[in-house]
């Protein structure tokens, strides 16, 4: 379902209401997101997707154990034009010392979010374009994209308006330097 830019604001409200009602009827393991006026439904990820997330998580915890990590935390972020707010679910959300206990299912980001991580899935353009713009609009300081089709890992940083001013990409197998507050080189060999 896609919203067109010329739709009236009340139609945006209806779309948002329909999306929020999906939570009650979506089967376990199925994720629904609202990205730039489109309701996106995804099935549980395949093993290679989860493998990349597992490798990243183990490296982060080994290097910097003080961060909080949540798999599939719902974030409410700004959207372009007349669309309702984006409701996106990053594969991983990394925060400072904050605990996730007590946070609502859909959370508006704050300064505690340090990084979001996506591993490309069935619709990689969502991660490469729409979600990247949404994370930048929301002020997420760093976005790590593990692109399985292109076999690259890219770190986007310095959000400005609807995009990131910096991007550093390496092919799988090469280390990717992560800046402060992480301050270590992310090995990407296991993403192959």
pLDDT tier for residue 98 given thresholds of 50, 70 and 90: low
143-189: pLDDT as tens digits: 999 999 999 999 999 999 999 999 999 999 999 999 999 999 999 99
Check whether 3 has a pLDDT greater than 50.
Answer: no
Instruction: Check residues 190 and 47 and name the one with the higher pLDDT.
Output: 190
| pLDDT score at 6 | 52
9-41: pLDDT as tens digits: 577 788 888 888 887 787 777 788 888 888 888
Radius of gyration over alpha carbons of the chain, in Å?
16
**C-alpha distances in angstroms, 141 versus 38, 172, 180?**
25, 23, 11
Half-sphere exposure at residue 175, Cβ-oriented, CA atoms within 13 angstroms: 9
Half-sphere exposure at residue 17, Cβ-oriented, CA atoms within 13 angstroms: 6
pLDDT tier for residue 2 given thresholds of 50, 70 and 90: very low
- Cβ contact 184:67 at 8 Å: no
Domains with residue ranges and CATH for the chain: 45-191 (3.90.1570.10)
The predicted model scores a pTM of 0.84
132-152: pLDDT as tens digits: 999 999 999 999 999 999 999
């Amino acid at each position: 379902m896609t919203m067109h830019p010329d739709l009236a604001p009340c139609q945006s409200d209806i779309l948002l209401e329909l999306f929020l009602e999906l939570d009650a009827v979506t089967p376990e393991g199925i994720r629904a997101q609202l990205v730039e006026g489109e309701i996106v439904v995804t099935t549980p990820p395949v093993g290679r997707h989860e493998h990349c997330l597992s490798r990243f998580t183990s490296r982060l915890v080994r290097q910097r154990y003080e961060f909080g990590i949540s798999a599939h935390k719902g974030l409410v972020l700004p959207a372009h034009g007349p669309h309702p707010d984006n409701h996106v679910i990053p594969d991983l959300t990394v925060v400072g010392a904050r605990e996730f206990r007590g946070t609502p299912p859909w959370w508006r980001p704050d300064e505690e979010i340090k990084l979001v991580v996506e591993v490309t899935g069935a619709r990689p353009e969502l991660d490469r374009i729409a979600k990247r713009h949404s994370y930048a609009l929301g002020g997420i300081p760093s976005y790590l994209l593990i692109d399985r089709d292109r076999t690259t890992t890219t770190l986007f940083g310095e959000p400005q308006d609807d995009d990131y001013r910096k991007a550093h990409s390496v092919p799988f197998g090469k280390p990717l330097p992560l800046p402060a507050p992480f301050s270590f080189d992310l090995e990407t060999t296991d993403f192959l």
